[in-house]
Amino acid sequence: MRQDLPATAYALLGLLTLGEEPVTGYELKQRADSTLRFYWVSPAMSQIYSELARLTERGLVAATSEQDGGREVTSYAITAAGREALHTWMADTPAGFPVLKHSVCLRLLMGHAADPEGTVRMLEEYVEECAAARADLQQVRDGLRGNDGPGQPFFHPSLVADWGLDYFEDEARHARRALDRLRED
Amino acid sequence: MRQDLPATAYALLGLLTLGEEPVTGYELKQRADSTLRFYWVSPAMSQIYSELARLTERGLVAATSEQDGGREVTSYAITAAGREALHTWMADTPAGFPVLKHSVCLRLLMGHAADPEGTVRMLEEYVEECAAARADLQQVRDGLRGNDGPGQPFFHPSLVADWGLDYFEDEARHARRALDRLRED
DNA sequence: ACAGCCATGTAACTCGTTACATGATTAC
DNA sequence: GTAATCATGTAACGAGTTACATGGCTGT
């Protein structure tokens, strides 16, 4: 049975396996923003809801609605079929090469068509943004401590977080190097 | 006058500034594949043609059709208005943070839901793919030599190429580090 | 009282892809 | 002659976004 869902659907399934209790779409968005967004486009709220609807339809997640005062709140949990689908996807579908839309490199490539000061400013800002992203991720990483050993729940997230921390540092280094060469002449 | 075109349109405009002669859509695709694709999604042929049509409509590129034997071949060149639009876009529109869809990190994040051997295999393959991408880019980089000094035509492309070479090396290093930690336990 | 967060969705739209279709030229 | 490459497009579709709409709950 081919599932053929977009990667984002499996990303959401994966996020649902990170906790025990069912979560609302809103909470899932927050979970995505705090973990996923460093390596993957964090989906818009509207997409989370429509994706959850599709996953529910296919029986990969189970929705439970409850009355919370005057409003109806729906929480979602991954089902056994969902876990199986996720597992199958991970085993059978090649990961593929990461897709990058590096706006900074794109502009640097066409730097001859811009004001030199503009290019320098852009790179300086990028260095700062990398530092900020790194600080955000460091917060997340710190929250994993104590449960990040082999076999523990946050083992894999900690691997990815450390990857990301290095990545942001490297990016800042690359930008600084380009800045040095721009200032040379 | 707001132009409000997608970044890919400006990327194509930028590619058109890299050479002197008008190029066909087909040649533009090859130019994109050899430079852009390392930092930006290389657009599909069909998108190149439709984007060129829109740019022509707006007067940012000029199309010249010629009879080449039995078939009509259309070549495109950037216009003065196109250069101005590109310059304005570079000056006024913030670059924004790069968008990443890192399928390898995404899967590593959910590694607990996969077979450990599968995760290891994925990372080993990624290391190889990074090496292959780096080798491809090295070819491109070598082609820039001699014209890559400050003020020369390939100065900015060479900055980006060196950035990319380092990037692929870093990625392979990150993957190897994750592999080491996976093998530890 | 009012701001800000929690929570859920719909509608319109754009970007970009794959599949399809066509046909000329060039190299073996 | 036939395969690969050059060259140009159309059509259908899917992913994902922004804008819009609604309304309850919570803290000050």
Residue B41 at interface with chain A, using a CB cutoff of 8 Å:
yes
Q: Which nucleotide is nearest to A69 (CA to C1')?
A: D24
Tens-place pLDDT, residues B107-159? 999 999 999 999 999 999 999 999 999 999 999 999 999 999 999 999 999 99
Q: Which amino acid is at A14?
A: G
What confidence tens digit (pLDDT) does each residue in B9-20 have? 999 999 999 988
- Segment holding A166, helix H or strand E: helix A155-184
**Chain C bases closer than 7 A to any CB of the protein:** 6-11, 14-19, 23-26
Any B CB within 8 A of A183 CB: no
The DSSP result for A68-115, as a single string, is: ETTEEEEEEEE-HHHHHHHHHHHHHS---PPEEE-HHHHHHHTGGGS-
**Do the chains contact at B156 and A108, CB–CB below 8 Å?**
yes
Closest CA to A102 of B38, B31, B165, B29: B38
Q: CA at B12, C1' at D6: how many angstroms apart?
A: 20
Q: What is the pLDDT of residues B18-77, one digit of tens each?
A: 988 999 999 999 999 999 999 999 999 999 999 999 999 999 999 999 887 778 899 999
Ranges in chain A, pLDDT < 70: 1-3, 185
CB of residue B6 closer than 7 A to nucleic acid strand C? yes
What is the reported pLDDT for A2? 54
